[in-house]
A and B are shown apart, each in its own frame.
Chain A
């Protein structure tokens, strides 16, 4: 069964305190790993897609990396506006069609 596990469930940082979020996955056929940001009361906002082990992508204070079993979302010198829930999803093929399987997310709080 395709599974995505995110850790920690919640993370509280001080402004400027760098850290990483983890997304581990067990899938039969990975067709891409996605990171999303979700603010309260809003839909997920697309951040990154990673396709192969060793790939890295950056956007402002965020950097996503991918290995064969997990992905990390590194947050460098976070600011309070980075507070959100970060979702990881894998794109897999099931029953002849492609779908996204999501983790439960990591709720990040950055205190000023």
Chain B
């Protein structure tokens, strides 16, 4: 299985500021995903980040608010821009095993970043 680490693990930020979350994988993967998990809600896909191309955003999420970088096959960042209290959530990075040479169709998740916006 893939080992995924995220930084920071948690942060408390002021309204109007931005936070960049890092995701590091211990193996090369083509596809990386960013999810949001709000209290009492299901995990929601924000965007898919493929190395070498622009990220693909889901309905309700825009690049200006959640810019993503994918500089290589083991690393990605998600920035939460101009934050408001509604952005308080857990943000999770995920990789698809099908693109990393593992058993087909498992999807692994990082430990998450707990963000609180005051």
CA distance A45 to B94 in the complex (A): 11
A4: chain B residues at CB < 8 Å are 42
Check if B110 is an interface residue, CB within 8 A of chain A: yes
**Inter-chain contact total with CB atoms closer than 8 Å:** 47
Q: How many residues of B contact A (CB 8 A)?
A: 22
Check if A25 is an interface residue, CB within 8 A of chain B: no
Q: Is the CB of A46 within 8 A of B106?
A: yes
Q: How many residues of A contact B (CB 8 A)?
A: 21
Q: Quick one: closest B residue to A48, CB to CB?
A: B106
Q: Is the CB of B105 within 8 A of A49?
A: yes
Check if B73 is an interface residue, CB within 8 A of chain A: no
Q: Is the CB of A97 within 8 A of B48?
A: yes
Q: A interface vs B, CB < 8 Å?
A: 4, 32, 34, 36, 41-46, 49, 87, 89, 91, 97, 99-100, 102-105
Beyond A45-B109, A46-B108, list 9 extra A-B contacts (CB 8 Å).
Answer: A32-B105, A43-B4, A43-B111, A44-B109, A46-B1, A89-B43, A91-B105, A99-B48, A100-B43
